[in-house]
Amino acid sequence: MPYVNIKITREGATPEQKAELISGVTRLLQDVLGKNPQTTVVVIDEIDTDNWGIGGESVTVRRKRGQ
Amino acid sequence: MPYVNIKITREGATPEQKAELISGVTRLLQDVLGKNPQTTVVVIDEIDTDNWGIGGESVTVRRKRGQ
Amino acid sequence: MPYVNIKITREGATPEQKAELISGVTRLLQDVLGKNPQTTVVVIDEIDTDNWGIGGESVTVRRKRGQ
Amino acid sequence: MPYVNIKITREGATPEQKAELISGVTRLLQDVLGKNPQTTVVVIDEIDTDNWGIGGESVTVRRKRGQ
Amino acid sequence: MPYVNIKITREGATPEQKAELISGVTRLLQDVLGKNPQTTVVVIDEIDTDNWGIGGESVTVRRKRGQ
Amino acid sequence: MPYVNIKITREGATPEQKAELISGVTRLLQDVLGKNPQTTVVVIDEIDTDNWGIGGESVTVRRKRGQ
């Protein structure tokens, strides 16, 4: 019954990679806490780099500097 | 003053249906807890089926199997 | 499969009232969008009035003024 | 290490304005609580006006009435 | 730079188990998407069973029935 | 009408500091985007250090090492 929300920048994650995140985190919750995988919900949010900030500036600006 | 976030898969909910969710949940909070509808905020997130997982797999994969 | 998060101030909602919110919003999603109630998840967060702000001030301060 | 999520309606905020939100809220957390700006994360969600409700109706409907 | 929020019912997860969730999901994001573990943030919310609903009823009620 | 969620570790923020966060972020949204402060909602979540992870480990463990 857990609910997991994963937020990443929108930079080309493929459906296969997102499927791996879903299966991996569902298995982790089963292994560590015995949670039923059938009712584990995972939601992935992909966020534009203009809308994600760290260190006081957007990821867009950081990427331009090569970070 | 409540805040409600509703997450659903992006599968064609119409503006009219979303308006019904907004009015319905606002009324529910007024009926059950006496909350002022004027300051109740509702945000609906529609999530791509690749980005929603349940039972360890994406909804895209489940829909292909007819679930 | 929807996920609903309801945030309210922590001001004495009873288990019965919270059960009404859970059943009510689950039914709403079934009625409006045909969502399966068995997999609808609802999480209620009760927030201390010091930690909830509206109009630029905390609810604690507003309650003291009688709002 | 704080995490801040800002939700606004999608109504034309520019990258420059979003950068100001990111730098401003990061500075606020440093000034008020001494938080390290290097690890402060800010995520801005822009929400369609059909998907944002207040007062029991969508912002789309309110905007049409001139609110 | 990813942000992960894990919500589980408050039913006795230990600090060691929560540490395993944190390290496991951080590693998963590194393995699948090459994300830098140093800036991956994980927040675990433990929710009272009165405040978690599934299938239209609270987990408290379900646990009493042996589910 | 914006909604802002600020998550910090639970390490003794006072009501006065939380009030400063509320007024500061509300003013920021008014200054940058012209948002009406009367309907800006701010919710602060204080998270136990066992439940907050960065760099693959909990803040509790990091604090013990002096970080």
pLDDT digits (tens, 9 = 90+) for F3-58: 999 999 999 999 999 999 999 999 999 999 999 999 999 999 999 999 999 999 99
Residues in C whose CB is inside 8 Å of some CB of F read 7, 45, 47, 50-58, 60-61
Give pLDDT tens digits along chain D (67 positions): 899 999 999 999 999 999 999 999 999 999 999 999 999 999 999 999 999 999 999 999 999 998 7
pLDDT for E27 equals 98
Q: Residue A51 and residue D41: Cβ atoms within 8 Å?
A: no
Residue of chain C with shortest Cα separation from F16: C50
**In chain C, which residues have their Cβ closer than 8 Å to the Cβ of F3?**
none
Catalytic residue numbers of E read 2
Q: Residue F57 and residue E22: Cβ atoms within 8 Å?
A: yes
- Examine chains E and B and say if they touch (3+ CB pairs below 8 A): no
Complex ipTM value:
0.97
Beta strand segments in D1-67, E: 3-9, 41-47, 52-54, 57-58
pLDDT for F1 equals 82
What is the spatial distance between Cα B51 and Cα B59, in angstroms, rounded to a whole number?
8
Q: Which residues, in sequence order, are bridge partners of residue A42?
A: A4, B53
Q: Residue E6 and residue A9: Cβ atoms within 8 Å?
A: no
Give the residue from F33, E2, F7 showing the smallest Cα distance to A47: E2
What is the spatial distance between Cα B33 and Cα E10, in angstroms, rounded to a whole number?
24
**In chain D, which residues have their Cβ closer than 8 Å to the Cβ of E43?**
3
What is the spatial distance between Cα A18 and Cα E32, in angstroms, rounded to a whole number?
8
What is the spatial distance between Cα E43 and Cα E21, in angstroms, rounded to a whole number?
10
What is the spatial distance between Cα F53 and Cα E26, in angstroms, rounded to a whole number?
9
F3-64, what's its fold? Macrophage Migration Inhibitory Factor (3.30.429)
What is the spatial distance between Cα A39 and Cα A27, in angstroms, rounded to a whole number?
12
Q: Residue E5 and residue A2: Cβ atoms within 8 Å?
A: no
* Helix segments in E2-56, DSSP class H: 15-33
C-beta of residue A59 within 8 angstroms of C-beta of residue E1: yes
If you search the block for the tokens 């999530």, which residue do you land on? B47
The whole-number average pLDDT for the span A6-10 is 98
What is the spatial distance between Cα E51 and Cα E35, in angstroms, rounded to a whole number?
33
**In chain D, which residues have their Cβ closer than 8 Å to the Cβ of A53?**
19, 21-23, 26, 40-44
Instruction: Read off the pLDDT of residues E25-57 as tens digits, 9 standing for 90 and up.
Output: 999 999 999 999 999 999 999 999 999 999 999
% of chain B with per-residue pLDDT over 70: 100
C-beta of residue E4 within 8 angstroms of C-beta of residue A4: yes
Catalytic, A37? Answer: no
- CA–centroid distance for A61 within its chain: 21
